[in-house]
Structure 1
Amino acid sequence: MLRLITDFDGPIMDVSERYYRVYQFCLTEIRRPGQAVKELKKAEFWQMKRSRISEKEIALKSGLDETQAQEFSQLRRNTVHTQPYFEYDVLVPGAVEALLKIQAAGVDLAVMTMRRVRELDYAFEKYDLGKFFPENRRYCLSNDYVKTRDVDDKPLLMTKALAELPSAAATWMVGDTEADIAAAKKHNIQVMAVESGIRDRAQLKLYQPDFIVPDLSTAVNMILTSKVPTLSAKI
């Protein structure tokens, strides 16, 4: 049996609009009355996020001062994973088709995400994604889990998953961050990083995934056509 473990945000969900709306909200909330600020265009903002430019630097580039930048960063952290902002998440083009394709091929599917149960359930219900991932194939954080760092928390989820899931002849991980790569590497699982998420190619390359691909559709096609082991240029 072949297994694919996929991250949720990045490979399946496009979170760029949520992050941008939260950025706009925080900028509006933190600016002083009459203060001139420069609201970044979404494309510029998202590229800065994907390049791992800090929240403080984004705030400063937007015209806030040092003190405001700290306040901006804190407000963003407190807001980005709350309703109503999850409403702005949308499916990555081709993601559902890729899931249908690999499910039809008999590959065992599991999802592994830093979302909490209520956050994952919300998206599953909105986009009818439960058909791909039964409850025993969903690995996420409990609603009261105290997060540390994704690069620490995600490997713990992977440990739990591998202890519970039936054995597979081969397992692939698909994700869009260094946390996904770290989780896979810790357990000697092959990992594909996708460019459809919150890290750009340059950032992903730093963590040396087995492959960097544009999106989940490409990853699925590579796995199903058995081209993965023979590609001459990984990244």
Structure 2
Amino acid sequence: MLRLITDFDGPIMDVSERYYQVYQFCLEKIRGKDGLVRQLSKAEFWQMKRSRIPEKQIAIVSGLDEQQAQEFAQLRRQTVHLPAYFPYDGLTPGAVEALEKVQQAGVDLAVLTMRRIVELDYAFNRFDLGRFFPENRCYRLSNDYVKTRDIDDKPLLMGRALAKLPPASDTWMVGDTEADIVAAKTHGIKVIGVLCGIRDRASLEAYNPDAIVPDLSEAVDLVLNQSRQQNQHLPISTGN
């Protein structure tokens, strides 16, 4: 059985507008009435996020001082996952078509995400994504889970998922961050980085994924093509 495990934010969900809206809110809140700031454009902001510029540095570039930047980073952490901002999320172009292609090919499909249950359910209901991921193929955080760092938490979540999933002859992971790559490599799974999320090529290359492609659609094509090539080279059984 061929299995594809995919991250959610990035490969399937575009969170750039939510993150930018939270950035704007935090900048306005921290600067005060008379504070002069330079609000980054969405393109500038997102490029900084993709190249892993720390929140404090983004705040300083935007005109906040050191103390304000610390407050900005703290407020951002408190705000970015609030339900009020989830309507800003949208589907990554081509993601639904890619998921449909996986289903039609008979691939075992699972989602592995740092979203909590309520956060994932919101997106599933809004975009009708539950049809791709039955309950026993959804691996996410409990609503009361205390996060540390994704790069530490995600390998743990991957371990719990693999312990519950039935065996597969070939398993691939698709994700857009270093946490996805580390989680896959920790458990000996092949991993594809996609460039449609919150990390740029240089950030992904630093963690040596098996491949880097533009989006989930091309990741699916790569996995299906590799599977076909492997099947073509299997020895033909002649029976007894």
TM-score tier by shorter-chain length is over 0.9
Question: 1:226, CA displacement in angstroms?
Answer: 2.4
| 1:165/1:67 CA distance change after superposition, 3 Å | same
Number of the residue aligned with 1:147: 147
Q: Distance in 1 between matches of 2:228 and 2:74?
A: 42
Question: 1:228, CA displacement in angstroms?
Answer: 9.4
Q: Distance in 1 between matches of 2:213 and 2:174?
A: 10
Question: 1:123, CA displacement in angstroms?
Answer: 0.2
Number of the residue aligned with 1:190: 190
Question: 1:34, CA displacement in angstroms?
Answer: 1.8
Q: Distance in 2 between matches of 1:59 and 1:187?
A: 36
**3-state SS, counterpart of residue 83 of structure 2:** coil
8 A contact 1:222–1:228 mirrored in 2: no
Q: Distance in 2 between matches of 1:131 and 1:123?
A: 12
Q: What amino acid is aligned across from residue 144 of structure 1 in structure 2?
A: D
Q: Which segments of 5 or more consecutive residues in structure 1 lack a partner in the other structure?
A: 231-235
1:53 matches 2:53: yes
Q: Which segments of 5 or more consecutive residues in structure 2 lack a partner in the other structure?
A: 231-240
* 1:61-100 CA-partner distances (Å, limit 9, x unpaired): 1111111000000000000011211110100000000000
Q: How does 1:103-122 map to 2 (within 5 A)?
A: 103-122=103-122
Q: Distance in 2 between matches of 1:228 and 1:76?
A: 45
Q: Distance in 2 between matches of 1:180 and 1:33?
A: 41
8 A contact 1:193–1:209 mirrored in 2: yes
Question: 1:190, CA displacement in angstroms?
Answer: 0.2
Question: 1:32, CA displacement in angstroms?
Answer: 2.0
Question: 1:227, CA displacement in angstroms?
Answer: 7.7
Question: 1:225, CA displacement in angstroms?
Answer: 2.1
Question: 1:16, CA displacement in angstroms?
Answer: 0.3
Question: RMSD across aligned C-alpha pairs, in angstroms?
Answer: 1.3
**3-state SS, counterpart of residue 173 of structure 2:** strand
**3-state SS, counterpart of residue 219 of structure 2:** helix
Q: How does 1:1-235 map to 2 (within 5 A)?
A: 1-226=1-226
Q: What amino acid is aligned across from residue 158 of structure 1 in structure 2?
A: M
**3-state SS, counterpart of residue 226 of structure 1:** helix
Question: 1:25, CA displacement in angstroms?
Answer: 0.2
8 A contact 1:31–1:68 mirrored in 2: yes
Question: 1:35, CA displacement in angstroms?
Answer: 1.6
